Structure 1
Amino acid sequence: MRYLLVLFILIVPSLAMTGEPAVDAPRCHAEIPCPLGDRSYHVKEPDDWDGISPLPVLLHFHGWMRQGTLIVKHGRISGATRRRGVLLLAPNGAGKTWNFWTSDTDDVAFAAAVIEDAAKRYPIDRSRIYVSGYSYGAAMAWRYVCENGDGVAALLAISGTLRQTETCPAAPEEIRHVHGTSDTVMDFPFGPGGDTTYPVKLWRKRLECNGPPRDLGAWDITRHNSFRRTQWRDCTGGRVTLDVHERGHFIPRGWIARQLDELLDLPPSYP
């Protein structure tokens, strides 16, 4: 027994000197964050991924006082991406929020670094990078594509915008925005005379949408989730789609899923 005790004392220090952990650290995935400098992000793989095929990406910015841990578990976000072969990236905002108010923000560079770091871990499809967000996260998604949107396939924004007077040096190929006219948290930005197309005025100007809008009428996902869709296709730089509902501040059930179905040419499905 004394011999075993002496042997243990000799072995343990020698292991500690190697600097090697006793067990491998858990792989960053889902609720285990991926470190990136002094910050971090979360990642969720799609169901049934073969481990080889390039993955479309949804970079989603969380709302105020949230973190990416919520996003990778959220049925209306992660539930949509994992069923459609999309890699979900959920960066963590400093102080659980985002600095989207002006172009002078570190959050754009951080989010771009998230995509590049994920590209070292996964084979991503650079032609199908989508940027999304809800509430403050939607405003941050607008800021990201405003400053770094060249090469982004689409913006999918929910209940949050920048000022329509902003000037954006960059833009994604497509804009898709949804907002409720009864929203009192990130107020619906009515235009002059109650114009309900005003929430995307910035992008209509940036993408040079000079033709008249097309009223595509009402559509719905569930009985409680119906929208009025207006679309601008006669644009020099892309396409703009606005979905308006009469409710308040929330992520509409199935909205992200439907946008991904349309963008990826998949049959519309729910959820």
Structure 2
Amino acid sequence: MYRGIDRRVANTICRVGFALMAWLTSTVAHAYIVPTSGVTYFKTTTTYQGVARTTLYFKPTAASTSKAPMLVMLHYKGGNPEAMAYLTEVQELVRDFGIWVALPPVADGDWHDDPKDTSTTDDVGFLSTLIDSSVAAYPVDAKRVYMTGFSDGAMMTLRYACQRPDKIAAAAAVSGVMLKNLVNVCSSPMRATPMAMINGTADTIVKYSPGKYAISITVPDSAKHWAKINGCGAAPVVTKLPNVSTSDGTTVQLSSWLGCATGNAVQLYTINNGGHTWPGSPYNASKQGVTSYDINGTLAVWEFVRAFTR
């Protein structure tokens, strides 16, 4: 079962009139590394652009003779690697599937997900260096590296999949959406990336259907954009998933673009009445909406990306 995170929600911020990440966390109480049977963790510091960033890794305790897949997981604004692991209980994927997980931190407060960002911080370059160094130093399969993230981390995942699809085999964005600036430079990346998206219709931070003058497109249009990149058919197969939890006030609809020209796929989990939360987690800050317990977000991400190799 997931464990909750107690946090203080600070003032809402606005960026160009769009509340992309509407809360900042001053402290993350109880965000510690949860001991998990069969799982070992360690930290490694990477210096990039003169800035030292310490990445948290989880790996199977038992030695393996073969290389393992690795999931790169990007935390939300105001979070950190430990808090992201605590929220998602990603250690359970390590235990159950024998994968490696890398949780890197931001350099200066948030991920630079906008390609028109004027900051000199190069998060795309840092993540590429992290992936390359992980493959070189550890028994990680370069053809089975995946990326996911929540909120600000989801936005960075979308940008990375556009700009460096040669480094990852598939990606998943939870509570993320395509910025218009990113759409403009992401019409024909060097290769197609399978993409899954998980979004709540009642998300007040990353809106499912933002207004005309927002800096992002809608969530459905974001999924359609990735379907176009992957050469998928125009219409997805839509499935209503079982309403496992009748008390949370949510239902989940899965839109799947299959039969893509590249052999890839695109999925969109629409959580009706869902907020800005990680599905399946008991964490639900009062100002971030409803958490759905009809799906396990961590498992849904892994079940999608694991089907692909680069």
* TM-score of the pair, normalised by structure 1: 0.76
Work out which of the residue numbers 29, 34, 37 in structure 1 matches 2:45: 34
Q: CA deviation at 1:156?
A: 1.1
1:250 corresponding residue in structure 2: 277
2:203 corresponding residue in structure 1: 183
Q: Partner of 1:60: helix, strand, or coil? A: strand
1:117 corresponding residue in structure 2: 133
Q: CA deviation at 1:207?
A: 1.7
Deviation digits for residues 210-241 of structure 1 (CA, Å, limit 9, x no counterpart)? 34211122246655475210011132232111
Q: Partner of 1:150: helix, strand, or coil? A: coil
Work out which of the residue numbers 143, 148, 155 in structure 2 matches 1:139: 155
Q: CA deviation at 1:178?
A: 0.4
Work out which of the residue numbers 176, 183, 188 in structure 2 matches 1:160: 176
- Does the Cα contact within 8 Å between 2:43 and 2:57 map onto a contact in 1? no
Q: Could you say if the C-alpha distance between residues 186 and 263 of structure 1 is closer, same or farther in structure 2, counting changes exceeding 3 Å?
A: closer
- Does the Cα contact within 8 Å between 1:175 and 1:241 map onto a contact in 2? yes
2:287 corresponding residue in structure 1: none
- Does the Cα contact within 8 Å between 1:180 and 1:188 map onto a contact in 2? yes
Q: Could you say if the C-alpha distance between residues 248 and 256 of structure 1 is closer, same or farther in structure 2, counting changes exceeding 3 Å?
A: same
Q: CA deviation at 1:262?
A: 4.9
1:79 corresponding residue in structure 2: 92
CA distance in 2, matches of 1:231, 1:139: 21
* TM-score of the pair, normalised by structure 2: 0.67
Kindly report which structure 2 residues correspond to 1:4-83, keeping only aligned pairs within 5 A, or say none. 30=41, 32-37=43-48, 38-83=51-96
Aligned residues: 235
- Does the Cα contact within 8 Å between 1:228 and 1:245 map onto a contact in 2? yes
Residue 122 of structure 2 corresponds to residue 106 of structure 1: yes
Work out which of the residue numbers 259, 264, 270 in structure 1 matches 2:301: 259
2:222 corresponding residue in structure 1: 199
Q: CA deviation at 1:33?
A: 4.2
- Does the Cα contact within 8 Å between 1:30 and 1:69 map onto a contact in 2? no
Q: Could you say if the C-alpha distance between residues 219 and 41 of structure 1 is closer, same or farther in structure 2, counting changes exceeding 3 Å?
A: farther
1:18 corresponding residue in structure 2: none
Greater gyration radius: 1
- Does the Cα contact within 8 Å between 2:201 and 2:275 map onto a contact in 1? yes
Deviation digits for residues 95-123 of structure 1 (CA, Å, limit 9, x no counterpart)? 23111111666100100101112123311
Q: Partner of 1:115: helix, strand, or coil? A: helix
Work out which of the residue numbers 240, 263, 267 in structure 2 matches 1:241: 267
Residue 165 of structure 2 corresponds to residue 149 of structure 1: yes
- Does the Cα contact within 8 Å between 2:72 and 2:147 map onto a contact in 1? yes
CA distance in 2, matches of 1:126, 1:177: 23
Gaps of 5+ in 1: 1-28, 266-271
**AA partner of residue 189 (structure 1):** S
- Does the Cα contact within 8 Å between 1:39 and 1:92 map onto a contact in 2? no
Q: CA deviation at 1:39?
A: 2.5
Q: Partner of 1:79: helix, strand, or coil? A: helix
- Does the Cα contact within 8 Å between 1:30 and 1:72 map onto a contact in 2? no
CA distance in 2, matches of 1:101, 1:236: 28
Q: Could you say if the C-alpha distance between residues 199 and 76 of structure 1 is closer, same or farther in structure 2, counting changes exceeding 3 Å?
A: farther
44-53 or 133-142: bigger deviation: 44-53
Q: Partner of 1:95: helix, strand, or coil? A: coil
2:253 corresponding residue in structure 1: 228
199-208 or 247-256: bigger deviation: 199-208
82-91 or 237-246: bigger deviation: 82-91
Q: CA deviation at 1:151?
A: 4.7
Q: Could you say if the C-alpha distance between residues 50 and 239 of structure 1 is closer, same or farther in structure 2, counting changes exceeding 3 Å?
A: same
